[in-house]
Structures are given as structure tokens and as C-alpha cells.
Amino acid sequence: MRLLVPAILCAICLPAAATTPCLSPEEAMAVAETATLGEAVTARRIVTHTAGFGEWEVLVHMPNESHGWRCIISRDSGKVLKQQRIKNPPSKVR
């Protein structure tokens, strides 16, 4: 019982994992690169009908593949909302 009470108190008092806003295109590109393991090429802000800051649309180039990714990143949580396979966009490095 002595061990159980401190464990319950710690579980109750610890905050949930905080999400950070993704306010710049560079941050959105970094999130997309982490999610897809590719090279983010462009990021643009898109307006949606949901509440909050809106989203980022990031195009990701996948080296040595025929298809890349279009990632939709939430601006208020910094998480990937949707991934869609697309024709591979041109790489930034030529």
C-alpha cells in the first residue's frame, strides 16, 4: 500500500504530453521529414474550415522512388493530420 499511493499520485500529477504549435514553414517541413523520412521541398499555409490556426501543406521528395508525399500538418498541434502519395516533386538539390 505504501508503494501504491505515491505511484497513483505521480500518475495523477504528471501533465499529459504537451503539443507545440507549428507556426513556421521550417517547423512544418521538419515534422514532415520526420514522419516520411524524405526531403521536404515546399511548405504552404492552407485555410480549412476547422477551428484553430489552419494547416500546412508540405510536399516531400523521396529519393530513389517514383512517388513522394503530400503531408497536411496541423498548425495548432504540430502533428501530421494526413499523408497522401503523389508524383515525386522535384528535389531542392539539383
C-alpha to C-alpha distance for 41 and 29, rounded to whole angstroms: 8
Tell me, yes or no, whether 47 lies in a domain: yes
pLDDT for the residue 47: 83
Cβ contact 62:40 at 8 Å = no
pLDDT in tens, 18-44: 567 778 999 999 999 999 999 999 999
Tell me, yes or no, whether 14 lies in a domain: no
Mean pLDDT value of segment 9-13: 52
Residue 7 lies in a domain: no
Q: Residue 94's pLDDT band (boundaries 50, 70, 90)?
A: low
Residue 1: pLDDT above 80? no
CA dist., res. 40 & res. 51, Å (int): 26
- pLDDT of res. 15: 47
**Containing structural domain, residue 30:** 19-87
Residue 94 in any domain: the answer is no
Overall domain count for the chain: 1
Q: What is the mean pLDDT of the chain?
A: 82
Three-state DSSP at 59 gives: strand
